[in-house]
Amino acid sequence: MIARVTARFPATENVLLGPGDDAAVVRAADGRVVATTDLLVEGRHFRRDWSSARDVGHKAAAQNLADIAAMGAYPTALLVGFAAPADLPTAWADEFSVGLRDECAAAGAAVVGGDVVSSDTLTIAITALGDLRGAAPVRRDGARPGDLVAVTGNLGLAAAGLALLHAGQAEGHPDCLTAHRRPAPPYPAGPEAARLGATAMIDISDGLLQDLGHIAAASGVGIAVRSADLHPPAGLVEAVETLIRGGNAVRSPLDYMLAGGEDHALAATFPPRTSLPRQWTVIGTVVDGDGVTVDGAIPKLSGWDHFRRTPDNSDRS
């Protein structure tokens, strides 16, 4: 659907990079601006009984600021579309704004405007802007066979947090619950990857395999992931143990890392033999071909799909 819709939008001379990546790049007479937008819908992206207003503010900002970082850019500003039911407590909007402000500050950005309307469904539409500071944008389409594939940031924690909440386990496991409520994208790693010569980059919103699939498709390459290079953190292993004890576990810690979305880690490809700082973990290589494999096999898992019913996105609530 996105491909059909975006095919209808012609570019002008000011569009340096149009739809299809984590963010667009638009020329202004005095420079370039990176621009992106993502929505949060109550019941679909958050629940008010699972997340505080402040949490939702953090998450709304983080989800968008991560797309700026994923281009190799520095976040500069956010605009906030706020569609609220008439009975939303004012305090909720206040606290939401504090979360938004604080997450922006953590990324070096500021809230510069927005809009408020009434709506049956609480919906938050954020536009984030960013600055490349002279660098070329790191797109999804530059991965080449032989490149290293590396990630930085959390993998699987947010999805495990969501599974705990679905299972009624809202106590303990702070790593996973916090990752769901307030994802922590590694913002500085985006421009860092650009400086290190990254050939492609994406933030992990829908799941590692699915989002690497976007790099593979855009670049016309395959990506081979080695599961032995993905090390589930203790907090994730413990959350899965709790889910198993409650009779809920459906996935292994590794599966959460491969298919869990919403942590907004960054995945990037780098030329062969690039020496990467510690925070980047090499998890595979770019190969000739197409699609993403794990240990040489086509994985059964993929990731989040808004229009497909899966155990994770059915309306069980």
Ligand X SMILES: Nc1ncnc2c1ncn2[C@@H]1O[C@H](COP(=O)(O)OP(=O)(O)OP(=O)(O)O)[C@@H](O)[C@H]1O
Ligand Y SMILES: Cc1ncc(C[n+]2csc(CCOP(=O)(O)O)c2C)c(N)n1
Instruction: State yes or no: 205 annotated in a binding site.
Output: yes
Distance, in Å, from the CA atom of 220 to the CA atom of 208, rounded to the nearest integer, reads: 18
When asked if residue 46 is in the footprint of ligand Y (CB under 6 A), the reply is: yes
Instruction: Count Cα neighbours of 271 within 13 Å in the Cβ-side half-sphere.
Output: 5
Pick from 42, 55, 67, 147: which binds ligand X (CB under 6 A)? 67
When asked if residue 262 is in the footprint of ligand Y (CB under 6 A), the reply is: yes
Closest approach of ligand X to the CB of residue 206, in Å: 5
> In 13-89, which residue ranges form alpha helices assigned H by DSSP?
53-69
Q: Choose among ligand Y, ligand X, Mg ion, none what residue 55 binds, the Cβ cut-off being 5 to 8 Å by kind.
A: none
Q: What is the DSSP string of 10-24?
A: ---TTEEE-SSSSSE
When asked if residue 47 is in the footprint of ligand Y (CB under 6 A), the reply is: yes
Strand 110-118 versus strand 148-152 pairing type: unpaired
Instruction: State yes or no: 22 annotated in a binding site.
Output: yes
**Count, residues near Mg ion per rule CB under 5 A:** 5
When asked if residue 103 is in the footprint of ligand X (CB under 6 A), the reply is: no
Q: Which residues of 6-42 are buried (b: 16+ CB within 10 A; e: fewer)?
A: eeeeeeeeeeebeeebbbbbbeeeeebbbbbebebeb
Pick from 123, 152, 205, 285: which binds ligand X (CB under 6 A)? 205
Distance, in Å, from the CA atom of 310 to the CA atom of 247, rounded to the nearest integer, reads: 18
Closest approach of ligand X to the CB of residue 60, in Å: 12
What number of other Cβ atoms are within 10 A of residue 1's Cβ?
7
When asked if residue 261 is in the footprint of ligand Y (CB under 6 A), the reply is: yes
When asked if residue 20 is in the footprint of ligand X (CB under 6 A), the reply is: yes
When asked if residue 162 is in the footprint of ligand Y (CB under 6 A), the reply is: yes
In the block, residue with structure tokens 């984590």 = 22
Give yes or no for a contact between 49 and 58, defined as CB atoms under 8 angstroms apart.
no
Binding-residue pattern over the window 37 to 76 for Mg ion, x denoting contact by CB under 5 A = -x----------------------------x---------
Of 64 and 219, the one with the shorter C-beta distance to ligand Y is 64
Q: Which residues of 234-248 are buried (b: 16+ CB within 10 A; e: fewer)?
A: ebbebbbebbeeeeb
Binding site for Mg ion (CB under 5 A): 22, 38, 67, 203, 205
Binding positions for ATP are: 114-115, 140, 205
**Where along the sequence are the contacts to ligand Y (CB under 6 A)?**
38, 43-47, 63, 162, 205-206, 261-262, 304, 313
